[in-house]
A and B are shown apart, each in its own frame.
Chain A
Amino acid sequence: QVQLVQSGAEVKKPGASVKVSCKASGYIFTGYYIYWVRQAPGQGLEWMGWINPNSGDTNYAQKFQGRVIMTRDMSINTAYMELTRLRSDDTAEYYCARGPSSLYGMDVWGQGTTVTVSS
């Protein structure tokens, strides 16, 4: 079945970096964009950006420009989201999700990865 499986929870200190993985299975990895969305505790959804697994092209929300890096490894059908210079307000659940194009929304989501930033 189609699924996205994310890496496990992380605890990081302020200023550190975190890299979350998102392994795709059950579909053609290069046929769908991978989006990253985060959700702070008790808050709404925040779109971070996308990567096109086929080309490697990325598009980041201005808020994260310079701090986020989205990559992929086509040999293992895995996308990555690295967030650097972590702050306490980066504490959130991070989701990857796939979508065929911008018109169709994000139809399959990973289970989420909890990232806690604390000194």
Chain B
Amino acid sequence: GESVGLHLPTLSVQEGDNSIINCAYSNSASDYFIWYKQESGKGPQFIIDIRSNMDKRQGQRVTVLLNKTVKHLSLQIAATQPGDSAVYFCAENSKATDYKLSFGAGTTVTVRA
């Protein structure tokens, strides 16, 4: 079964607002958690990762938070833009499983103008 799963399959956000996409995981031995973005008709694209010994990591307009106590991961997108409309996947990997990526089901984010 899946080792990562998302809370909500869809999210509608007003342009300019912040987006929060959530993900739950079950594998306590995961080494990395990763967020990918998939635009329509394209392959997934890496956004940001976080090592399991970290709580927070920031990138350009994105922040990933990791709460190991409740096994929860979130991706925050600041000032959401129309180009952020896509499907977002959380993924995890671990040394124990050859670092192969295991993906959740995805959240479709739609940005309203």
Instruction: Report if A and B associate in a common complex.
Output: no
- The residues of B with any CB-CB pair to A shorter than 8 Å are none
- The residues of A with any CB-CB pair to B shorter than 8 Å are none
